[in-house]
A = this chain, B = another copy of it.
């Protein structure tokens, strides 16, 4: 796509695949709202008082139907919103179109190049000459990264006049980031400093982004407060676990139509995401083998009847591989060469470096046959045997299907809304330093409570006597901070 910004009749900027899909997007958003009681409750509870009035929010989070409901919850609470996706394949074009038409400045389409991806990211930060956003909703931390790298480059440039050198990195994606910063520096050497001044804080969605934030906190380089939404119980123990349990088989089915029953499946990593995947595959009738580095998680897998082996033990025997580790170099091209013909290789961790796509692309004589978008068969010349790689190694549930379903995303996103409200409310109070925070347990419990009615559940109420006996307030919170659920 040509990288120029379009404008709606009201002058709002956007760049999406096809504005004609907006009606379809709206119909699916209408359906999703019924499944997202937490977000709808926020609109009802907070909408009248417009608590986000005046807040500019930049979001970098998969531009799906569910995210659209989040975005319109933020605008219903008074915010102005600019948005990009945090993954080149995860945008649902009809959702993007509906948002662009009706509610926000959106820069996202399914199947961006990396170049386009970072262009969109930069667009989402461009709130005009008077600085950037007040608040960030981030997923994986790419917007946060761009600001921190930009800020750092400006510091260096100010001190030494040196521009960042893209060729200093061997990572092709990071070269693009440095190029963008370098090109920006030439025209506006204080852009990221102004942004940093204005920024109230970020709420981060996912394990990977949170890990980056804690590293920056540890290094003392974090530029603004951050709320770790991922580690709300109602996020990490729901979206990561139950979301993946739903969307992993969905991605497999849409991409390959392969029968799961009877197959041997390898799940690399048995964290919340890995647990969800392993259970989904087991329930589909596969025999599941787990790889793990952590003896505790490994023992959990064993207690559920999963065999725990190394990848090498099983690589030539399994039919389906899923990486969920959040680490890199999990399945290398040397592993892929040993696999059975038409073994399926996929990743559901945040970044695509779990699978050695570069090694595969550069393998001498390898042949890529695109079955359909996000489903490629790669054939090795020696054996004429092929493997099927989903979503080019990126999040397969978003690349090949539609990601997590609305209900569980309502839990995650209600945490996001609460985090944004909290950051904005405390913007001048000094409550939040340049550190990473989790939401207090009573808010976590509130998010859960907002989702019970839809499922017909009835909670039991403590008597005063019982509450005293276990030393908790009648209305909660009910558990100590270290409770693991």
Which positions 62-76 of chain A face chain B at CB distance < 8 Å?
Answer: 65
Cβ-based interface call for A434 (8 A): no
Listed stretches A52-60, A134-142, A242-250, A417-425; interface member: A242-250
A35 touches B258 (CB 8 A): yes
Which positions 24-40 of chain A face chain B at CB distance < 8 Å?
Answer: 24, 27-28, 31-32, 34-35
B308 touches A457 (CB 8 A): yes
Cβ-based interface call for A261 (8 A): yes
Instruction: Write the A429-443 contact mask toward B (1 if CB under 8 angstroms, else 0).
Output: 000000000100000
A455 touches B257 (CB 8 A): no
A residues contacting the other copy or chain, number (CB 8 A): 112
Cβ-based interface call for A114 (8 A): no
Instruction: Write the A401-412 contact mask toward B (1 if CB under 8 angstroms, else 0).
Output: 110111110010
Cβ-based interface call for A479 (8 A): yes
B449 touches A295 (CB 8 A): yes
Q: Which of B237, B313, B408, B461 contacts A259 (CB 8 A)?
A: B408
Instruction: Write the A264-294 contact mask toward B (1 if CB under 8 angstroms, else 0).
Output: 1000000010000000001111111001111
A482 touches B438 (CB 8 A): yes
Cβ-based interface call for A458 (8 A): yes
B452 touches A299 (CB 8 A): yes
Q: How far is the CA of A457 from the CA of B469 in the complex (A)?
A: 40
CB within 8 Å of B: which residues of A?
24, 27-28, 31-32, 34-35, 65, 211, 214-215, 231, 233-234, 236-238, 242, 245-246, 249-250, 253-254, 256-264, 272, 282-288, 291-300, 302-311, 313, 317, 326-329, 341-342, 369, 371-372, 377, 388, 401-402, 404-408, 411, 438, 444-446, 448-449, 451-452, 455-463, 465-466, 469-471, 476, 478-482, 484-485
